[in-house]
Amino acid sequence: MYEMEKRGKKLRRINERKRNLSFFIAETIVIMWVSFALAAFIWAFIASFSTTRSIFSGNLFSEGLNFKGYRVVFVEYKIMRNFFNSLIYTTLACIGILLISAPGAYVISKYSFIGGTALRSFLAASTGLPSVMILVPVFMTIVRMNAANSMLTLIAVYIAAGVPVSLYYLTGFFATLPSTLQESAMIDGCSPIAAFWRIMFPLAKPGIISVTVFNFIAYWNEYIWALSLMSNPGKRTISIALQGITRAMTNQGNYPGMFAAVVIVLVPTIILFVFLSDYLLEDMTSGAIKG
Amino acid sequence: MILIFILPVVVICLVFYLWPIARTLMMSFFKISSITSPMKEWQFNGFNNYMQINLSPLFQRSMKNIILIWLVGGVFNFIFSFLFAVYITKLSGKEKRGKFYKTLIYLPNIITPVAIVTIWTQYIFNNRFGLLKNIFDFIGLHQLAAIPWTSQMYSFWAMTIAYTFGSVGYYMIMLSSAMKRIPQELYESAMIEGAGPMRQFGQITLPLIKDVHKMAQIFWALSCVNFFLWSRVFSINDSDPATLSPVNLLYTQVFGNSIGASTIQQANVGAGAAVAVYLTLIAIVVFGMFQLAFGKENYEY
């Protein structure tokens, strides 16, 4: 007995040492990785205040501070216009997705009805469907209806594209809420619809916030629909506008302008991230898997 | 109430999913000269679109590209995301630092990839003033420092590195949130029994996060099937063969080149539809493959 204990202690010591060594190696790699990313972001930020000649010389400040890059991007390319476009498209799309997916998810999780299971599996399957499978016919119809380059079209497409994933996630979330609350609200004279919006919807707040944060980022950065549907420069989203600006600046050799555009796009996202990091780093990913 | 609540969802399923899927399937058997041609101008083409794609060197190249990203990028992605996930899970008592690392590793996932690509291609990979050049010069590897990463010869690997670097954070978060649910006592007793860190990982961590690991593998494979933005933005040319992906090829087939251009050279929309059908089949195969590979049984803890 005593021998075994001694052996156990020894093994434990060896393994603790091994663990500490692997921990040290892992930490070194993490620090290198993070420094690399940080260096790239910081350089881009400083370069946006530099000049092309300084950038090529290797000393970003050799010609002092320079704001021309920002002027070009704000004044000539009117990037704020695209910024507000993205803000409007994304906000309205998030609201629309919620208004359709939350009631749908609730009904699917709490009631059984004809076709309910089929609908549920269809929605689950469509979350894995490559979007190119629907892109061409939808685009054709939109062009034929003369609805390309319209804000409402893009928002409608985002809502339709976003509903299955959100609904799938919220279904898992509503399933965990007790149905008794809804019933007692109805006994007190609420209609079923009012009972849902007044009682159940607010109770699902944590799930709803996670879904919305996730959707907001997904549609803020959305690319393929924005690229094919919004060719009018005044209506482009920030991503597509940034691509255009980067291409133009590369051709002109205007590096500070290019990085100014990058910084303008980065800063709001990073600020948002700082406020929402708890949701982004924990909830959605773990929730999505459980759901 | 059921009807009112479910009707919009059903409409979306029919109008935005079912009908377009059927339509794309149908289009893949027709020769269609332009995206705006009405149905009566479509010519039945049998399996010719599929044949044409199979023989197309560009399609073969694009398939090879995404398979390499899936395999080579996948190995790197999962090595680092597992390593970081374990590290972050075990980082007790240093939450603040852990959160800082986590945030920076995850950050590329919430920024528009267009900005990320710009930083990589214009700065990090620049062989005149770039970050990689400076790092390699600093450690004395001047030959590596001189590599023109964004040239035709290297751009595919440059893109794979950059893409994988950004993805690691996403999978790290996914895996670490699963690892956090494993009870700590299991590791304690394993250590007393004499299992080292590698054995603990292989015999405790991996089996207990099997479900999430499977999900992560499926997500990674599907992200390769859907690979588009990076392919389109990374090279100066929208559809450079070196960085071409099938979705990008399809997009070029259907919409022509350059942003929002309406001029279409020799487009065959039917062939584009055939690519979409191919990709959907691949997605189904991928899903089934991982379901089989990971098996059904689960461990309770």
Q: Is A2 on the interface with B (CB under 8 A)?
A: no
**For residue B28, which of B244, B194, B268, B204 has the smallest C-alpha distance?**
B268
Report chain B residues whose CB lies below 8 A from the CB of A270: 107, 111
B196, B212, B276: residue with CB nearest A132: B276
| pLDDT score of B155 | 93
A94 CB burial (10 A radius; 0-12, 13-18, 19+): buried
In this complex, do B114 and A47 lie within 8 Å of one another by their Cβ atoms? Answer: no
| B144 compared with A37, residue with greater pLDDT | A37
How many other CB atoms are found less than 10 A from the CB of residue A65? 10
B104, B111, B212: residue with CB nearest A289: B212
What's the complex ipTM? 0.89
How many cross-chain Cβ pairs, A to B, lie less than 8 Å apart? 273
Of the residues B29, B80, B127, B129, the best mutation for testing chain A's interface (the one with the most A CB atoms within 10 Å of its CB) is B129
In this complex, do B80 and A40 lie within 8 Å of one another by their Cβ atoms? Answer: no
**Interval B37-78: pLDDT, tens:** 788 888 888 888 999 888 989 999 999 999 999 999 999 999
How close is the nearest chain B Cα to the Cα of A179, in Å?
15
Token pair, residue A274, equals 């700082």
Contact present, A137 and B19 (Cβ < 8 Å): yes
Report residue B180's pLDDT band, with 50, 70 and 90 as the boundaries.
confident
**Interval A183-200: pLDDT, tens:** 777 777 778 888 888 888
**Interval B239-266: pLDDT, tens:** 888 999 999 999 888 886 544 444 444 5
Report chain A residues whose CB lies below 8 A from the CB of B13: 119, 122-123, 126
Kindly report the backbone phi and psi dihedral angles of residue B81, in degrees, each rounded to the nearest multiple of 5, phi listed first: -70, -35
| CB contact residues (below 8 A), chain A span 38-77, against chain B | 38-41, 43-44, 47, 55-56, 58
Contact present, A49 and A256 (Cβ < 8 Å): yes
Pairing of strands B30-31, B43-44: antiparallel
State whether residue B43 is helix, strand or coil: strand
Helices marked H in A48-115: 52-57, 68-71, 79-110
State whether residue B31 is helix, strand or coil: strand
**For residue A210, which of A57, A63, A101 has the smallest C-alpha distance?**
A101
For the four alpha carbons of A288, B3, B4 and B7, in that order, the dihedral sign comes to positive
Our CA angle for B92, B93, B95, nearest 5°, is 85
**Interval A14-59: pLDDT, tens:** 777 877 888 889 999 999 999 999 999 999 999 999 888 888 887 7
d(CA A22, CA B284): 39
d(CA A70, CA A67): 6
Q: What is the mean pLDDT of chain A?
A: 87
Of the residues B13, B15, B17, the best mutation for testing chain A's interface (the one with the most A CB atoms within 10 Å of its CB) is B17
